Amino acid sequence: MIDRYGPWAVIAGGSEGVGSAFAHRLADAGLNLVLIARKPGPLERTAEEVRAKGVEVRTIELDLVAPDPLKRIREVTDGLDVGLLVFNAGANSYGHEFVSGDLDRFQGVIDLNITAQLSLTHHFGGLMKERGRGGILLVGSLAGYMGQPQISIYSAVKAFGRVFAEGLWLELREHGVDVLELVLGVTRTPAMERAGLNMDIPGLNVAEPDDIAREGLEHLSEGPVWVAGGNYKAAQKRNGFPRNELVAGAHEAMKRMLPKPS
C-alpha cells in the first residue's frame, strides 16, 4: 500500500469514528498522516494513538466550512508527497424541513459535502495525476440513493458525491489514480450516538468503523463505488422504481430509528 498510496495520506474528518479507523489502518500500513478535524480533543487523541505505531502525524484543527480551508491545509501539506486523500468530513450537520429551515445552515451542509470536498480533491488529485499514482477515497452514504424528509439537502449532496466520484474515476484511472466512493449505511460512530439514533432495532444492519475502513482500503482500486457494511442490496433497491412507493416505504422504516421526542 505504501508504494501506491504513500508515503503520506490526508484524512479530512480523521479524529473519531470511521476517520479514526482509517488513521489506524493506514498507520499500520506504514503511511504518515495529516489528520484534519474540528474538535481538538478527539483529534489529538487519535494523533497520539497512531504516532505510537511509529509513523509521523501532523494535525490541522480546522472547520472545512471556514473561508478557503485549502490555504490552511496547504501550509501543512505543501512539500509532502501525498498519495492518498480520504474525505470523511461529511456528517449531516443540519437536519430540518427545507421550507421552514435556515438557508444559511443548509448552505453549510453544501459547503462541507460539496465545496470543501471539491477543493481538496482538485488540489490533491492534480498532484497525484502529475506523479502518476495515488488514491482518492470519498466517504458517501446510502442517504444519497433516496430523498428523505429533514435531511433532503444532505441526501442531495451525497447523491452529488457519488456521481462526481464516478466521473472522476473515469478521468483519473488512466493516470494511475484510483477513485472510490465508499457508501456507508448505519455505522456505530460517535456522531450517530450523539444524534440519539436507535441502532438496537432487531434486524437492523449496523456496521463498525474498523470494518468500514478495512472494506474501503481493500476495494480502493475497484472504483468507482463500493457499498460497505453488507448494504449492496439496499442500495440496489433504493435505485428502483416506482419512486413514490420506494421513497414512502423507506421513510416509514426509518422512523423507527429516529430519537423519540422528549
d(CA 121, CA 126): 8
Are 222 and 180 contacting, i.e. CB atoms less than 8 angstroms apart?
A: yes
208 sits in which H/E element: none
> Pairing between strand 225-227 and 82-87?
unpaired
Residue tagged active-site, from 5, 94, 154, 232: 154
154 catalytic? Reply is yes
Rg (CA), the chain: 18
Cell numbers representing residue 219 in the block:
476495494
d(CA 137, CA 114): 14
b/e code 170-189 from CB counts within 10 Å (16+ = b): eebeeeebbbbbbbbbbbbb
Q: How many CB atoms lie within 10 A of CB 43?
A: 22
Active-site annotation, residues:
154
